[in-house]
Amino acid sequence: MIQSITILPGRNKTGNPETFDRIDICPGEIVGVVGPTGSGKSAFIEDIEQLAQADTPTGRRILINGRVPDQVLRFDPKRKLIAQLSQNMNFLADMTVSEFLMLHAKCRGKGRDLVDQVIYHANTLTGEPINKEMNLTVLSGGQSRSLMVADVAFISDSPVVLIDEIENAGIKKHKAMELLSGNGKVILIVTHDPLLALLTGRRIVMKNGGVEKIFSTTQHETDLCAELNKIDRELFRIRECVRLGEEIVA
């Protein structure tokens, strides 16, 4: 069981040491990773995904529950602690949604009753309903990401979820974050989206390949996020109306 994940400092692209002491993240917490393109955001979450031990270009080390993780956790796919969701996510398997979810549940030692639960919650994230008899290959980008978010929330045993720029995936972002964090997982999200960034409790700011700053979200930012979320929901509604060929009404 994961009680905490810890990132220990490494170095930036010019070889200078990062200035933070350590970053501890606990289950149920959402942490944002922000910064301009090329600032090292992807390398940061890749270090976590690999449970790096000063053996990547950044020299960072990752601890689980304050200790160096066992080698089997790093290299055995069956013991993998970390799930990653990216904005470029497409299914290649020629099977139905139901067949995929049942297979995944079986592999995880879980019951088939989770299939309907996953589909139900996936449909709360997308404006395009997902049917259990749909073939995976016909799902849109938004449907695919919604299905995987719900799958990670309810079927996957991975206690750590890394989300890499899903802001353009056409899903209800606020609900997706609530769904994942509500299941006691550690969430790190790489984003350029101000709404997603302000949904987090802390923001790790990257620059020149290293951690530049670490912010805690203020009450003012939380209030601002609530207002932005109202706007985002209305934009989502209008977008769905346009896509479905419906008239936009007040």
Q: Count the Cβ atoms, other than its own, within 10 Å of residue 34.
A: 22
Per-residue pLDDT averaged across 203-218, rounded? 95
Output the six-digit token pair for 191: 């984003």
Three-state DSSP state, 8: strand
Q: How confident is the model at residue 43 (pLDDT cuts 50, 70, 90)?
A: very high
Per-residue pLDDT averaged across 187-208, rounded? 91
Sign of the dihedral through C-alpha 212, 213, 214, 215 = negative
Evaluate if residue 91 carries a pLDDT over 70: no
Distance CA 5, CA 186 (A): 8
pLDDT value for 101: 92
**131-181 tens-digit pLDDT:** 999 998 888 888 888 898 899 888 887 888 888 876 666 678 778 888 887
Q: pTM higher than 0.85, yes or no? A: no
- Mean pLDDT estimate for the chain: 88
Q: How confident is the model at residue 241 (pLDDT cuts 50, 70, 90)?
A: confident
More confidently predicted of 17 and 234:
17
Regarding beta strands 186-190 and 160-164, do their DSSP bridges make them parallel or antiparallel, or are they unpaired? Answer: parallel
Three-state DSSP state, 191: coil
Distance CA 50, CA 54 (A): 11
Query: Cα angle at 125 between 122 and 127, to 5 degrees?
Result: 105
pLDDT value for 219: 94
Distance CA 133, CA 145 (A): 17
Per-residue pLDDT averaged across 195-218, rounded? 93
Domains of the chain with CATH codes? 1-81+158-219 (3.40.50.300), 89-157 (1.10.8)
* Side-chain-side CA neighbours of residue 138 (13 Å): 11
Evaluate if residue 89 carries a pLDDT over 70: no
